[in-house]
Amino acid sequence: MNIDRIILLSVWILTIGLMFLIPRVKRRLAVVAFLIKQLITLILGLTVVEFGLIIYPVRLFSKVNRASFTFEYFVYPAVCSLFNVFFPNKRSKLFKLGYYAVFCTTLTIVELIIEKKTDLIIYIHWSWYWTWLSLFATFFMSRTFCVWFFKGEFKDTNTKKTCNDD
């Protein structure tokens, strides 16, 4: 097994472990965030690959799809679930913007390291700032959808509030 396959396996194990951090009362929010992010990345991820902006030489299901199944359909939606579950609803707008920035910057740095050191991703006509901007936009879209979807739900107690507890 080469290093790229070991990294893929490690990422799957780490992501599954992170999913256990989601509190029971917020699992519905996590599932909705996960599914909406999969829809968004299905469209955007395939578009980026089909236009030849990014190549994923080593990937799961290589005969079915040229996009990275691991990142586009599992890791990124799982991170989006965590992003939405732990979103700082009662904080200032500046703090919320910083929350977005931390998630986008962390994922971008990890992707850059993977792009430089492995064959899991190769930028053709792509750059780190496109990754950062697309992450920000898709996090915003998923957050907006979750707030709309769960509007008015769980207003009785502080512990059961999901998305929109402002």
Kindly state whether residue 15 falls inside one of the protein's structural domains: yes
Structural domain contains residue 160: no
Average pLDDT over residues 137-162: 77
Q: How much is the average pLDDT of 137-152? A: 93
pTM for the predicted model, two decimal places: 0.86
Instruction: Please give the pLDDT value at position 100.
Output: 97
- At residue 2, does pLDDT exceed 80? yes
Helix (H, G, I), strand (E, B) or coil at 123: strand
Task: Tell me the per-residue pLDDT of 31-87, one tens digit each, with 9 for 90 and over.
Answer: 999 999 999 998 998 999 999 999 998 888 777 788 888 898 999 999 999 999 999
Tokens of 122: 């190769």
b/e per residue 15-32 (b: at least 16 CB within 10 A): beeeeeebeeebeebbeb
The pair of three-digit structure tokens given for residue 79, joined into one six-digit string: 């991170």
- The percent of residues in the chain predicted with pLDDT above 90, rounded, is 72
User: Quick one: pLDDT at residue 44?
Assistant: 92
Range of the structural domain that residue 107 is part of:
3-149
Q: Is the separation of the CB atoms in 157 and 25 below 8 Å? A: no
Give the chain's mean pLDDT. Answer: 89
Q: How many residues does the chain have?
A: 166
Tell me the C-alpha distance between 39 and 111, whole Å. Answer: 21
Average pLDDT of the segment spanning 113-140: 95
Residues pairing with 123 in the sheet: 54
- For residue 66, what pLDDT is reported? 82
**25: which DSSP letter?**
G
Q: Which two tokens stand for residue 146?
A: 């979750």
Q: Is the confidence at residue 158, as pLDDT, over 50?
A: no
Average pLDDT over residues 104-116: 96
Q: Quick one: pLDDT at residue 157?
A: 40
Which of 58, 31, 39 shows the shortest CA–CA distance to 122?
58
122 forms bridges with which residues in the sheet? 55
Please tell me the total count of domains within the chain.
1
Does 158 map to a domain?
A: no
Q: Which residues pair with 55 in a beta bridge?
A: 122
Mean pLDDT of 102-118: 95
